[in-house]
Amino acid sequence: MFMKQTKKAQPETQSESLLGAVLNVFLFFMFAVFPLFVGIYANGQFPFIHFDDGFFNIRHDKFYFFVTMALLAVVGEIMIIVTKSSPEVRNRKLGEVFMPLSFTDWSAIALVLSCTLSTLFSPYPKLAFWGEINEHGVSAGRNNGLFLILIYVLIYFVITRFFRYKEVVFTALAVSCSVVYLLTVLNGYYLDPLNMLEQFKDSQPGVYMEFFSTIGNKNMLASFICVTLPVSAVMAVLTESLWRRLIYLAASGLGMTAMIIGDSDSAMLGTAVFAMVFLVVFSRTTARLKRFFLTLSVMLASVGLLRLFSAAMGDNYKELGSIPKALLFSNYVYILLAVCAVLTAVLYLVDGKKPGMRLPKAVPAALGALFVLAVLTGFGIFIYFSAIDTETPLGDMEKLLRMNDAWGTHRGIMWLRSFDIFADANPWQKLFGTGPDTFYFAFEKYFEQLAEYGNSSTDAAHNEYINYLITIGIAGLGSYLAFAGGALVRGFKAAKRNPAVLCCAAAVVAYLAQATVNIALPISTPLFIVFVSLCEAFAENRAQAE
């Protein structure tokens, strides 16, 4: 629907169409089924099908689902090329797979090579490869080992070589995520239609309150929201189908309510960054800007609906932090809603009189400069109170504005000690780290200090970039940033001809923002990798068209 080409594309053969269809089946399963997938078992007792101990194995359930789907897609594509393609088509497709390689392709290869070296020379090679071992009942990894990285890169090359755009897969994602978001809200008010919380309460009474829907704890929910909500929000702007727009708007509104009741500041960070970036992206044309403000209006209006629902439930919700609680009960949300609604109405009137009107380039430039200034100002204030004025009482704002061991729900101690670990590392470990997903052992000597904040251990830095710095080193972190950043830049460049890429770029932007305070898991990171791959795939389609 959105893709434009400058010259007539070469007609696809039947085998090439089949290659695209197989990949879209993979995307459909990842978008429609993966978010909802949880292990089940049958024991003959009513209601006959039961969830596998609530959330206890949810990370493994998602991990095995993604790996299985990815390997089936890879094998399926290879079999079609080998058995269904003519020699001419086979040679052409193999040529597309192996050459020419883009900057992002080389970055993906560099990531695999650096992580392989990191694993081979790791003090914990088994953990580094599989991403999880258990010693004396203690989990020391999160399935983020070399094996999963290999799967990520494999599916990246499959997506970038065989992707053919079908909007239905993005619509399926919006529908699936709407169910996840709705379940999150219900769980937030102690309503448990799937009976997952009740089972988890029995096995994990100390932490079950932090788990929601079919995703997991609130940090993983935040990561999931950041990688899915922006897709629906941007598709609500881009689609020309009214019924699809209604689905995307509904998903955006439900995502906003899930973000609040899920109680995670990282989701708000990622969503705020996405909103700022895409206000700039859409600010050139009134046609897109009006729909963007309409989407924002729906998201803000959903907060009001959540407030009404909360009142109907007697405000009996799980514990909320200060920011989500302020959003839910503050009247400032209604002021923002009024502003967005007025801007939406004005833009619809302007676009009605002058359809397709383009605003001056100075508008996005000014907005971009304003947002950069705001970010630099906030960072400057943070540096000032963290390094210069460390004594002035900041009250509730201290947990945001002053870096110390207790900062960010004691993320500060993890980050600061991680820099000490990196400083003490030998040159090889500085370059290649201690091995993928081995943060547990790298940080082990600081567990006693960490216990002062209520945690006896940790297997992640709660900052993906710091975590990669310690586990896969400068080479691995640099390759990862080049991989994600290269695809994002190329995706934005391809947006003029293939606007649908913007929904994928939005997911990448929001995920990268929240990753500064969150962790990578097979619950949401596979979707992020898929969207990185789709950014590159759209860019490759543009290059082929030209």
End-to-end CA distance of the chain: 18
Would you state the structure tokens that stand for residue 356, as one six-digit string? 């397709």
User: CA angle at residue 543 from 85 to 155, to 5 degrees?
Assistant: 55
Measured distance CA(38)–CA(180) in Å, rounded: 12
Measured distance CA(168)–CA(133) in Å, rounded: 39
- Hey, which residues does 217 pair with through a beta bridge? 211
pLDDT score at 253: 97
Q: In whole angstroms, how far apart are CA 523 and each of 125, 487, 528, 529?
A: 24, 21, 10, 12
pLDDT score at 137: 55
Cβ neighbours around 131 below 10 Å, total = 24
Q: Look at the block and give the residue holding tokens 């390094």.
A: 387
Measured distance CA(212)–CA(259) in Å, rounded: 11
pLDDT score at 8: 43
Nearest to 533 by CA among 498, 460, 483, 478: 483
Q: Is 74 exposed, middle or buried (0-12, 13-18, 19+ CB in 10 A)?
A: middle
Strands 216-217 and 138-139: unpaired
- Residue 541, helix vs strand vs coil: helix
Q: In whole angstroms, how far apart are CA 260 and each of 269, 310, 512?
A: 12, 12, 20
Nearest to 145 by CA among 516, 507, 468, 528: 468
- Residue 50, helix vs strand vs coil: strand
For residue 226, which amino acid is it? C
pLDDT in tens, 369-403: 999 999 999 999 999 988 888 888 887 777 778 88
| Mean pLDDT split into 10-residue runs, the chain, 546 residues | 47 71 95 90 58 76 94 91 70 66 95 98 93 67 94 96 93 97 95 82 74 90 96 97 97 97 90 95 94 97 96 92 88 93 95 88 92 92 89 79 85 94 96 96 93 87 96 98 97 93 97 95 95 95 51
Its pTM stands at 0.93
pLDDT score at 543: 46
pLDDT in tens, 274-284: 999 999 999 99
